[in-house]
Amino acid sequence: MSSAVVIEAPGEHRLAEHTPREPGPGEALVRVHAVGICGSDREVYQGNRPEGYVRYPLTPGHEWSGTVQAVGAGVPGSLVGHKVVGEGFRNCQVCDRCHAGETTLCTAGYEETGFTQPGAMATTLTLPARLLHVLPDDCDLTAAALLEPAACIAAAAIKANARPGERVAVVGTGTLGMFAVQFLRAGSPGELLVVGTRPDRAALSKDFGATDFRTKDQQLPDDFDVVIETAGSASAARTAASLLRRGGRLVLTGIPAPGAEGLDPTDLVVRQLEVHTVFGAPPEAWAHTARVFAAGLLDPLPLVTHELPLDGFAQAIELVGSGDPKVGKVLLRPQGLPGGSGRV
């Protein structure tokens, strides 16, 4: 029987029978291979998602990979059988921001797969085919399930515009932080520093290309050209800003709790810092991520520590919020685990 996770209301979920929805005009039906769980999924389950950014009842799941099973009218039939990932934002395509390629700023209002539209924690997902990005036939779909968070960091890397030889840094050592290291490494930096709270991430950071690792209680430099912050706390944002030289470039990707004290505007002005923010990923960032992944320059798989079947949703949510340093990226496998086994 096909199944789907349904969150009826905050704190209430069930495993429901799932009937694949045949694709309409311009749509594609995807057989979901794997779906990732992140802090925003935990927010949805706990009821902490900001008003207007979730709609119950809901099948969550915005980080996913799969294979196209069928397409609707107006979609090339050659897409069937291809491995894909997909953008989450259901943009209108006609407003001025969408025409500018800034689909995450669509003025028609917020709609996103897994938050206000049915997500991928089901055996199949039907969505607009224009949101799909085709992957190489020989790619690892388990690794590809992490390309959504990677695309968000690609958006940050594009805004950071780090040039070869520049000194760059990453604040935060979670999934986003490790992707930031990989994207910045690909740009041939002169130095790549990672700052975090977990010394156990030092080895992985250096495996991904970092030249130095420090915890925030160690002495930190203040002359870097570019810093990408991924930790999602106000203190991390302030640490990130403190690492920059005058005129340096800062990109914030984390979302602190409401009411958090921000950066000092006097410091920003006096040091002439260039500050950017990222919420989601526009098509340019998705396309860049797919290219980098296809070229073998992005390796998500070492970040995956747990794979569970769809009925392991509750356990997966607990793992994500456990604070256990041994827990990295947690995936659900809607089609079941190969041979009934997996990383748990």
Indicate the angle between helix axes 175-185 and 147-160, nearest 10 degrees: 50
172 near 193, Cβ under 8 Å?
A: no
244 near 195, Cβ under 8 Å?
A: no
- Give the chain as a 3 state SS string: CCEEEEEEECCEEEEEECCCCCCCCCEEEEEEEEEEECHHHHHHHHCCCCCCCCCCCECCCCEEEEEEEEECCCCCHHHCCCEEEECCECCCCCCHHHHCCCHHHCCCCCCEECCCECCCCECEEEEEHHHEEECCCCCCHHHHCCHHHHHHHHHHHHHHCCCCCCEEEEECCCHHHHHHHHHHHCCCCCEEEEEECCHHHHHHHHHCCCCEEEECCCCCCCCEEEEEECCCCHHHHHHHHHCEEEEEEEEECCCCCCCCCCCCHHHHHHCCCEEEECCCCCHHHHHHHHHHHHCCCCCCHHHEEEEEEHHHHHHHHHHHCCCCCCCCEEEEECCCCHHHCCCC
What's the CA gap between 144 and 152, in Å, rounded? 14
What's the CA gap between 267 and 292, in Å, rounded? 35
Indicate the angle between helix axes 283-294 and 147-160, nearest 10 degrees: 110
What's the CA gap between 107 and 96, in Å, rounded? 8
pLDDT, block means (10 residues), the chain with 344 residues: 92 96 98 96 93 95 98 98 97 95 93 97 98 97 98 97 98 96 97 95 96 94 97 94 98 87 93 96 96 96 96 96 91 85 54
Q: Side chain identity at 213, as an amino acid letter?
A: F
153 near 180, Cβ under 8 Å?
A: yes
Q: For position 341, what pLDDT does the model report?
A: 46
What's the CA gap between 109 and 208, in Å, rounded? 37
pTM reported for the whole predicted model? 0.94
Compute CA distances 307 → 6, 156, 191, 338, whole Å.
19, 28, 34, 10
User: Of 64, 184, 35, which Cα lies nearest the Cα of 133?
Assistant: 64
Structure tokens at 51: 């008003």
Q: For position 343, what pLDDT does the model report?
A: 60
What's the CA gap between 168 and 182, in Å, rounded? 12
Q: For position 339, what pLDDT does the model report?
A: 63
CA angle centred on 231, ends 225 and 234, rounded to 5°: 85
User: Of 226, 139, 212, which Cα lies nearest the Cα of 184?
Assistant: 226
